[in-house]
Chains A and B, each alone.
Chain A
Amino acid sequence: MTEQTMLKIEGANKRFGGLQALSNVAIDIKKGQIYGLIGPNGAGKTTFFNVITGLYQPDTGSFELDGRPYSPSAPHEVAKAGIARTFQNIRLFGEMTALENVMVGRHVRTHQGVFGAVFRHRAAREEEAAIRKRAQELLDFVGIGQFADRTSKFLSYGDQRRLEIARALATEPKLLALDEPAAGMNATEKLALRELLVKIKAEGKTVLLIEHDVKLMMGLCDRITVLDYGKPIAEGVPADIQKNSAVIEAYLGGAH
């Protein structure tokens, strides 16, 4: 595996009024890794996600993606820079079909404007066909190709999660950031999700994963950072994290 850095964040701070939601969070994700972010409820995992993807403005911090600094000031700029995300509470475009959802993901890599839309000249037709083809490929990739024409809100829960991943992949991300993709899934669905993540990794994508299911994370992640009260308390390979006393204390409570 190459040891090139994909995402490097240092000194990220975020305060909401009196609450220091993130304090000096640093993270260093290498290319091709599946990187885990765990921590008890309220530890700041989702806040961290929202900060790196531009939904929240960080107070301080340096952000670097694939060797280039980027500013997490607006979500669409971050998506363009190459970070795509999913949401903890699924946020699909409910009235659109599965295929259309993924086609929206292609928006940031395509260009046709009003003129192309109205006159459908050759370049516009070709771009539209390419969008459609790529979207269908991605649906097939995540395993819901047969539901392409189904309105997305009528998909099953597990399939909606997959669709969100396909939509994120459509933006051609360098880093795929998944916020609790296994939440609410049963054991079979979790297993399938795990297979999908391994498949995504095999495609050479870098993945940042927030998850509660420690068992899933331990087998899957290359490295893990543990957050507690907005502070990183441990970082390392899963086997070390499992033994780390600070982590055990954060999850189970310390001896008082």
Chain B
Amino acid sequence: MSTMFDVKANPKKAYTSFAVLGVVLLLFPFVAANFGNSWVRIIDFALLYIMLALGLNIVVGFAGLLDLGYIAFYAVGAYLAAIFGSPQFATILQSFVENYPALGATLVSIFGPEIAEKGIHLSVWIIIPFAAAIAGLFGALLGAPTLKLRGDYLAIVTLGFGEIIRIFMNNMNSPVNITNGPQGINLIDPVSIMGVSLAGESGSNATVHFGGFSMPSVNAYYFLFLALCIIIIFVTTRLQHSRLGRAWVAIREDEIAAKAMGINTRNIKLLAFSMGASFGGVSGAMFASFQGFVSPESFSLMESIVILAMVVLGGIGHIPGVVLGAILLAALPEVLRHVVEPVQNMLFGKIWIEAEVLRQLLYGLTMVVVILNRPAGLWPAPKHEDRITKTNDAPA
């Protein structure tokens, strides 16, 4: 398994498996769509979770900084996309005019009547880097006061940070209405690429037309998210095998020794927080555009814990493992939701255990079994205890 994608150990085998994987990924939505769009939708969400898990993996997996508030960066990205891709900005200006007429009038004259009426509608090509940059900035903001903390103490502070962001989103509807409070922001623009909206034109039954080619909206999003995932996997892999990646792992393994080796642990940790957060921001922006709606309840502590569980269950610090963990934990509960009740109906003629209950049960059971039997995760990084030199011996 471990040499299947190892280009150096066995190029032919690796490229073959990459090609097979590529074809499967390309064809997947078209096959799955036959069984209903909801299956593709599940995978769309799983892809968003992969981005999140990979971002968190930089912080927790590489640099060893336990972050329980990671969902905050997802929220930052989502709210950015919401405010700058919906009529919400007009609401904000309106609220300024009502509460602080002088300031409001100035703001309206700065932004012009067009924006004051319709809000700002940035294109996806601006939203994505913007979300990455702002979330990255928030990552550094969180990182700065926590530099001297490790382990449990860091976890508590980051947990607090995550909650602060959510509570801010929940309460920033007065005195000036910025986030629309618990009601959330609605009517967020769908992603549109080269003038084609990925939600499909109105009345087209959510079908997207690219040239002569048409596909359901969820498939279009699938390809967009897949592309982003591949970019993020590429970037994290490259970072891992670089001077910076080694510095992160060095800090995780022994911070004092890392300092003594000349690593500026402050900067390198901030970089880890920032990079991790920026992926979370991108994922959040995509989530907002995909859903068309954001509200604070999507960013609860439970979400942070689920993402951390993905990283740990898959194989902390090991990118393929983290991807596997994200797919399993994001998709399995949804699959169960769809499968459990029909199966029970078929077997027993009635429903013994409700899907929701069984889902939680299996979720917990999975966690316990994995932690007991594979404490390093389902697909951990390979260890090299008996490989003396660079040999192409059998995978461990």
For B262, the chain A residues whose CB sits under 8 A away are 75-76, 79-80, 84, 105, 107-109, 171
Interface-lining segment among B21-29, B65-73, B160-168, B242-250: B242-250
Is B246 a contact of A103 with CB atoms below 8 Å? yes
Q: How far is the CB of B377 from chain A (nearest CB, A)?
A: 13
Docked-complex contact B254 and A117, CB < 8 angstroms:
no
Per the 8 Å Cβ criterion, residues 109-168 of A in contact with B are 109-110, 112-114, 116-118, 120, 124, 127-128, 131, 146-151, 154, 167-168
Name the prevailing secondary structure of the B interface residues. Answer: helix
User: Among the listed A84, A93, A117, A170, which residue makes an inter-chain contact with B243, where contact means beta carbons less than 8 Å apart?
Assistant: A117
A55: CB under 8 A from chain B?
Answer: yes
A167 contacts across to B, CB distance below 8 A: 261
CB distance from B282 to the nearest CB of A (A): 15
Complex Cα distance, B246 from A167, in Å, reads 13
Contact A118 B239 (CB under 8 A): yes
Q: Measured between C-beta atoms, what is the minimum distance from A233 to chain B in Å?
A: 28
Listed A/B pairs (28) with beta-carbon separation below 8 Å: A53-B260, A55-B259, A74-B259, A75-B259, A75-B262, A76-B262, A76-B264, A79-B260, A91-B254, A92-B253, A92-B254, A93-B250, A93-B258, A94-B254, A100-B249, A104-B246, A104-B250, A108-B262, A108-B263, A114-B239, A116-B242, A117-B239, A117-B244, A118-B234, A118-B239, A149-B388, A149-B389, A171-B262
Given the known interface contacts A79-B262, A149-B390, A150-B388, the answer about A112 and B250 at a Cβ–Cβ threshold of 8 Å is no
Tell me the complex Cα distance, A113–B246, Å: 12
Given contacts A94-B253, A95-B253, contact A107 B247 (CB under 8 A): yes
Residues on the A chain within 8 Å of B242, using CB? 112, 116-117, 124, 128
Does any Cβ of A come within 8 Å of B230's Cβ?
Answer: no
Quick check: A93 and B247 within 8 Å, CB to CB? no
Interfacial residues of chain B within 228-276, with CB under 8 A of chain A in the complex = 234-235, 238-239, 242-247, 249-250, 252-254, 256-265, 271, 275
Q: How far is the CA of A114 from the CA of B387 in the complex (A)?
A: 31
Find chain A residues with CB under 8 A from B261 CB.
76, 79, 84, 104-105, 107-108, 167-168, 170-171
* Assembly CA distance A148 to B387 (angstroms): 9
By the criterion of a CB under 8 Å from any partner CB, how many residues of chain A are at the interface? 49
> Are the C-beta atoms of A91 and B257 separated by less than 8 Å?
yes
A87 and B263: CB pair below 8 A?
no
Verify A131–B243 contact, CB threshold 8 A. Answer: yes
B interface bracket (residues with beta carbon within 8 Å of A) = 35 or more
A174 interface residue per 8 A CB criterion: no
Assess whether B8 is interfacial by the CB under 8 Å rule: no
Residues of B within 8 A of A104 (CB): 246-247, 250, 258, 261, 263
Query: Chain B, 68-84, contact with A by CB distance < 8 Å: what is the 0/1 string?
Result: 00000000000000000
Out of B250, B254, B275, B388, name the residue touching A147 (CB < 8 Å).
Answer: B388
Cβ-closest 7 pairs across A and B: A108-B262, A79-B262, A117-B242, A93-B253, A75-B259, A91-B257, A154-B385
A148 touches B389 (CB 8 A): yes
Q: Choose among B246, B384, B388 the residue that contacts A151 (Cβ–Cβ < 8 A).
A: B384
| B148 contact set on A, CB distance < 8 A | none
Q: Are A85's CB and B243's CB within 8 A? A: no
| B260, A85: Cβ atoms closer than 8 Å | yes
| Bound Cα distance A105, B258 (Å) | 9
B96 to chain A, nearest CB (A): 37
**Closest Cβ–Cβ distance, residue B189 to chain A (whole Å):** 29
Decide if A71 is an interface residue (CB 8 Å cutoff): no
Please determine whether B387 and A120 come into contact, CB atoms closer than 8 angstroms: no
> If the complex has contacts A118-B238, A151-B385, are A92 and B257 also in contact, measured as CB distance less than 8 A?
yes
By a CB distance below 8 angstroms, the chain B residues around A33 are none
Q: How far is the CA of A87 from the CA of B255 in the complex (A)?
A: 13
Interface check A97, CB cutoff 8 A: yes
Shortest distance between the CB of A104 and any CB in chain B (Å)? 5
Name the B residues within 8 Å of A127 (CB-CB). Answer: 243
Q: Which of B242, B245, B252, B390 has the largest number of chain A CB atoms within 10 A?
A: B242
Does A183 reach chain B (CB closer than 8 Å)?
Answer: no
